[in-house]
Every structure is written in C-alpha cells, then in structure tokens.
Amino acid sequence: RFATGALLAQETLSNLKTMGLVLIVWPLLEALATNAVGYMWKANGDVPYWKANYFIDMGPIAVGVFLVAVKGVLEHAVALKADHDLTI
C-alpha cells in the first residue's frame, strides 16, 4: 500500500489499533499467568515459599496507549485528506 502511495489507508489504522490493544493487555495477562503458575506450584508443594508478584511492566502499556493515540490522530488526518481531495 505504501509503494502505491496509499500512506493513510484505513487498513493500516485498524492494524495500528489492534497492535496497541495487544500491547496494553499483554502485560496484564502475563502478570496474571505468572501469579497463577506460582500459586499452583506452591499448592502442589513444588516450591517451599511463594509470594505474589504485583509487578506489571508499564513500558508495553505506555507504547500501546501511544499507538492508540496515534491511531486517533491518523484517523483525523485521513478525514482531512479526504476532505482536501474533494475540495476544488
């Protein structure tokens, strides 16, 4: 799409939003899975001591929020470009 000059394509914007949402949700799911596995190890007696880990990596969440915000800005740019293309 970029080679043909379609820089502001709607498909690119939907992919950008999907990537942003995945980056927002991923650290939360990872922390949940880490705690669940640790709890199961402790419950089965595989580890003698386990403490819940409340660390959530904020880096991917920040990048995901940034991508969703960029998607909103680019969506506005697409609307402005469409309006500009229709203007004589």
Render pLDDT for 4-37 as a digit per residue (tens, 0 to 9): 666 666 777 778 888 999 999 999 999 999 999 9
Confidence of residue 2 (pLDDT cuts 50, 70, 90): low
* Cα angle for residues 74, 75, 81 (degrees, 5° grid): 85
Residue matched to tokens 């950008």: 16
